Structure 1
Amino acid sequence: MYKYLYLCVELKKSHIAKEGLFQYRNMFQLVNVNSLENVIRAYLRMAEEHTEAAQAQSSAAVAVLELDDLDNIATPESILMSAVCGEDAQDRSDRTILLPWVKFLWESYCQCLELLRINTHCEALYHDIARMAFNFCLKYNRKSEFRRLCDKLRKHLEDICKSTNQTTGVSITKMETQQLCLDTRLFQLDCAIQMELWQEAYKAIEDIHGLMALSKKTPVPKTMANYYQKLAMVFSKAGNQLFHAAALLKLFQLTRELKKNLTKDDMQRMASHVLIATLSIPLPSAHPEFDRFIEADKSPLEKAQKLAVLLGLQQPPSRASLLKEVTVINAIEAIPGDNNPLAPYVRPLKDVTIMRLIRQISQVYESIEFDRLLNMASFCSIF
């Protein structure tokens, strides 16, 4: 079998390798699972080694891997651009040597995942290959393939939830299966954040929350802390200061309850982070009844309720409710200026301060000179 797969890799015949692995799985999935696992790992290892060797031969790998879609290596536009620009021999060599191996490796991962997706004896191997595929997308900056991989794993999970009990079927009710799925989605979330694919990161968070809700056992505190930390990061990138602060507050409360040996400096640092994030939340609208006339998307309340579920909240938080909870936290008064991790909150804080300043001025003055207003807002360099 090893020789058979070796020839498939050398000839880049992934579809023939798939047929051989399919037959081998049917013969050994019940009688010798270790042999099946060793064969699949050896196949993927050979594919990875050949891809890395091809990358080493390519002096322009970075430029080649900017191609958006592996399914369209040579598009009509690229052929026309090559004729106009006069693509040199090195570029053609890179395209010939490297990309076919990258495509072959990608197809190999997908085929192995399809092969093992419903086999309870190979669950650990399935999730190992999923993480290998995520690393592949991260290493070669394959954003299109990353999205496809996320969709594929999501479809596999849906099929598992719908499937009936079989001899070799995977059951989502098993604690081991739930934990493996959860670990893979957490790894997926980390990769999505590293690749700055925030939409995929949010989808991964929804999947993680669904798995935690499905489990009868409460996730370990370390997992929940990681979940809240990543959730706060995604909310921050989305510009949602309200739920960003709410996620940080949940993280702080969890850490304070579980880490009895937390130092005073660490406690103050986390409390300061929560306090600054909460103060950076934009002020609520003075006339919320008018907002419905300018909302073009879903109801803000509907969105907020959906996000609140991810945080385990009964109802959406508000700026006032978060400030009320923050009052019990002893926030640090002096924040260091060097390499300040709270620097991203400077601009939101200035925006909130200016808005509050203008509101207060409007209640006192009918008119005011612009120069005087600028002096009042001297903390802001651009008005």
Structure 2
Amino acid sequence: MTTATAGPLPLVGFTVGVTAARRRDELTNLLKRRGARVVEAPTMRIIPLEDDRALRRATERCLEAPLDYVVATTGIGWRGWMSAADGWGRGAALADACRDAVVLTRGPKATGAVRASGLGETFSPDSEAVDELLVWLLARDLRGRRIAVQEHGMPLDSFAAALRERGAEVIEVPVYRWAPTEEPEAVRRLVEQSVRREVHALAFTSAPAAVALLDHAEEAGLRGELLAALRSGEIMAACVGPVCARPLLDLGIPAVCAERGRLGSLVRAVTDELPQRNRRQLRGPGVDFILQGSAVLVGEESFWLTPNAAALLRALAERPGWVVSRADLLRRVWAGTNADEHAVEAAVARLRTALGPWGRLVRTVPKRGYRLELTA
């Protein structure tokens, strides 16, 4: 579908895949307000465990004897734990037990939640990495110490095992857990669109969500293609913070990270980076043309193009004013398909229609191909 709109916004022309479950609507709306089109495909879901027996048993264990250390890994998890304890009539006792212990927090969100519950933290690593919390703890004498570890969606088996090896009693507190998505078809479509380069960026708000997307790609037989698109930068990976980005970085995928681990910062990072990667300015008859993502910006108007039309226009714009043959366009835009030169002719006609009054700038050069009558 092709549309023309007035007053281009910074992300007009770009399609962003949102993989978040929690705060999905907020992230989607922030991106849309900046002009982006959004493909929503939550790759995981969070299951709260307020009524879970394991959480209650862990809480009671924390109250059986004084705690020496308490590790808070996420803000949502800490708040959920305190709320559940309140519901069981054990909130005050749990707060007192944590107040008498040394509290460690993984990053600003966990720190904010701990402070909001009337407690204070002794240590919080700038990296927001669980590994740094472990190093800090292992530097202490842990023999006979009782340590409560609030997990963040998945068991921290190696973390707990390292503490137990030093003689500590570790109480693992599973406040919520990650579970498979309820929208697998949406995730599959996002993978396919990404492989076809119809998506310009993928936004991640948690490391498990990033891993889950790659797992879905593997199930579809497209993991290699998705990794290639992400590693090359053709699709930008945008992460809410360094912890979220870690599994991608480990796979050689360059990730753009938000500075402060907030959704607003994530959207700003996408807004700042995407136009730099996929924006081309050309000069036309008395007006500038900006090719941005899958749109053309002319003055105060923006024309959204289909993925094929956008790829066709980018191919012509690589050397504006030069003739590009049908065979060359076929190779660049339809590689790996059974399309023939008639597909090129039809696509050029659709591109001209999409560009409205500017369609005449895509000129046919008889027996040779097409050229874009613009200058760099």
Same fold (TM > 0.5) = no
Q: Shorter-chain TM-score: what band?
A: under 0.3
Name whichever structure is richer in helix by fraction.
1
Does 1 or 2 have the higher relative contact order (CA < 8 Å, sep 6+)? 2
TM-score normalised over the length of structure 1: 0.23
**Larger strand percent:** 2
